[in-house]
């Protein structure tokens, strides 16, 4: 059986044939034994597929939405601005202002002068901002 005949049978089984075409189909179904067997088999398969699909758990196909290039560019610009803003905020909170650093150093040197006779271990030199900001710079340079 060729594809066109299969389509014709499908149309009848879906109730899409009307008028003369429908009468022609029914006349063939009533007289042609081989055609009748073919139609019955096709109908059996359709009913089988229906019951198979009805008993199968339904899978919802995810919708694939492709983004336009303009949208992609705007989105990447917005992401870059947001990242820059976050970096700025992190650096501002991590590093104290320069005037505060100078004041701290003056206080320290004054305290050292006062306790010249004491044997104190010198304090290790620490960077003025925490280590994670260094890491952030490295990450940004990679990005």
Partner 1 sequence: MRYSDHILILKIRSGKSQEANEALRQIREQSFDMICKWICRNSGSHADAQDIFQDVCINLVQNIRNNKYQHNAKLTTYNFRVAQNLWYKKLRKSGRNVPIDTFADVFESPINIEEDFIIKERNEILRKYLGRLSPREQEILQLHCFERKKMSEIAIIMGFKSQQTAKNFKCKAMKKLKELAFAGGRNSMLRAI
**Which of 20, 33, 34, 52 contacts partner 1 by CB under 8 A?**
52
For residues 36-58, one letter each, b for 16 or more C-beta atoms within 10 angstroms of the residue's C-beta and e for the rest, the string is: eebbeebeeeeeeeeeeeeeeee
User: How near is the Cβ of 28 to partner 1 at its closest, in Å?
Assistant: 11
**Which of 53, 98, 110, 116 contacts partner 1 by CB under 8 A?**
53
Contacts with partner 1 in 2-21 (CB under 8 A)?
3, 6-7, 10, 13-15
What's the token pair of residue 10? Answer: 């499908």
Q: 63 or 121, CB closer to partner 1?
A: 63
Query: By CB under 8 A, which span of 44-52, 75-83, 114-122, 124-132 interacts with partner 1?
Result: 44-52
Contacts with partner 1 in 56-115 (CB under 8 A)?
61
What's the token pair of residue 136? Answer: 């952030």
Residue 88 CA to residue 137 CA, distance in Å, equals: 11
5, 35 contact by CB (below 8 A): no
Q: Does 23 bind partner 1 (CB under 8 A)?
A: no
Inter-CA distances, 42 with 12, 21, 117, Å: 11, 19, 106
Per CB under 8 A, residues contacting partner 1 are 3, 6-7, 10, 13-15, 26, 29-30, 39-55, 61
């Amino acid at each position: 059986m060729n594809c066109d005949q299969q389509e014709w049978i499908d149309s009848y089984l879906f109730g899409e044939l009307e008028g003369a075409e429908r009468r022609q189909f029914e006349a063939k179904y009533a007289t042609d034994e081989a055609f009748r067997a073919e139609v019955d088999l096709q109908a059996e398969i359709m009913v089988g597929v229906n019951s198979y699909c009805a008993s199968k758990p339904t899978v919802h196909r995810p919708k694939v939405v492709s983004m336009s290039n303009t949208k992609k560019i705007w989105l990447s610009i917005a992401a870059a601005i947001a990242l820059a803003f976050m970096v700025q905020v992190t650096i501002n909170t991590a590093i104290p202002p320069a005037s505060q650093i100078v004041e701290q150093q003056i206080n320290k040197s004054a305290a050292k002068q006062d306790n010249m006779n004491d044997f104190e271990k010198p304090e290790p030199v620490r960077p003025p901002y925490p280590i994670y900001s260094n890491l952030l710079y490295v990450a940004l340079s990679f990005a």
